Structure 1
């Protein structure tokens, strides 16, 4: 979930971009795989979306998650099994680098939907052990280790044996 101060800004950004692109509420909701009523509540700032919902919307709009988070360092969002904090961004909407801290809790895998075809994730574990990567190709990464993967398919993050902390860098590049 988003913090209460950020939810209205995320909703306004979504509504503005949907309008600019000439998308109906129903069309964006369908593209993101969420309910039309849920999207309406998010746009009005009365519902705080979780990380999975935000990624579904960002992917449907072909934008980095950080753009929906108003590119605000310190913005936090979570879903079961994962808490993220945006550290910073650089670049543009179609050539972006996003940097996050992650806190993973044991016994709850977070499944992230596929991102754009040229999106690569780099994860460095700072404490604990995580099982991460593309569905069916996950790898265990321990403190001080790094793993990267093309995130154009569903991928997972899961703490192994206890809580885990990591830094995640997501690079989304435009072009063919």
Structure 2
């Protein structure tokens, strides 16, 4: 048994518990997330390694931040095409909102499309190196080293870098 097996099982258990708490069937969550029922079943059983895109697709209908699925352990990583994210910190605020802080590595040459997050979720990215074009699909902006971008992420949004970028991303969920 490897650490990866343990991680997959832990993520699967979190998805299953949250789905059950919200009264969603396996079919219902799969439909809302836009993934196959079999794929969701394999994820919940810890038999499939989830991609970052899949976790975001599941987090949206469950109304939870990504860290609710990944876990809140610093250093937890998720990756998808053209983007890797490493969790640095999760802060739970008195008003019930959550701020997640990630270290992002955006690889050159492709666009990473992120599904919509819940209502009122705000993303703020601060570019450390390279150049990053990011934001709501169709309304992206570019930032270079030392510059920041912010957008409401309740709709599809994208990340792209032609030269590769490193950045700090904060996601605040109400």
TM-score bracket, normalised by the shorter chain, equals over 0.9
The offset of 1:44, in angstroms, is: 0.7
- C-alpha distance in structure 2 between counterparts of 1:76 and 1:5, whole Å: 14
Corresponding residue of 2:7: 6
> Would you say how many aligned residue pairs link Structure 1 and Structure 2?
170
Q: Secondary structure at the match of 1:6?
A: helix
**Runs of 4+ in structure 1 displaced over 3 angstroms?**
none
Q: Secondary structure at the match of 1:15?
A: helix
- C-alpha distance in structure 1 between counterparts of 2:145 and 2:56, whole Å: 26
Is contact 1:118-1:172 (8 Å) kept? yes
The offset of 1:20, in angstroms, is: 2.3
The offset of 1:113, in angstroms, is: 1.0
TM-score, normalised with respect to structure 1? 0.92
Is contact 1:86-1:101 (8 Å) kept? yes
TM-score, normalised with respect to structure 2? 0.93
Unaligned segments of structure 1, at least 5 residues: none
Corresponding residue of 1:142: 144
The offset of 1:17, in angstroms, is: 1.7
Residues 39-78 of structure 1 correspond to what in structure 2 (within 5 A)? 39-78=40-79
Unaligned segments of structure 2, at least 5 residues: none
Across the aligned residues of Structure 1 and Structure 2, the Cα RMSD in angstroms comes to 1.4
- C-alpha distance in structure 1 between counterparts of 2:37 and 2:145, whole Å: 42
The offset of 1:159, in angstroms, is: 1.1
Residues 30-109 of structure 1 correspond to what in structure 2 (within 5 A)? 30-91=31-92, 95-109=97-111
Corresponding residue of 1:115: 117
Is contact 1:63-1:94 (8 Å) kept? no
The offset of 1:108, in angstroms, is: 1.3
1:63-109 deviation per Cα after TM superposition (whole angstroms, max 9, x unaligned): 00011111111110100000000001111695110000100011111
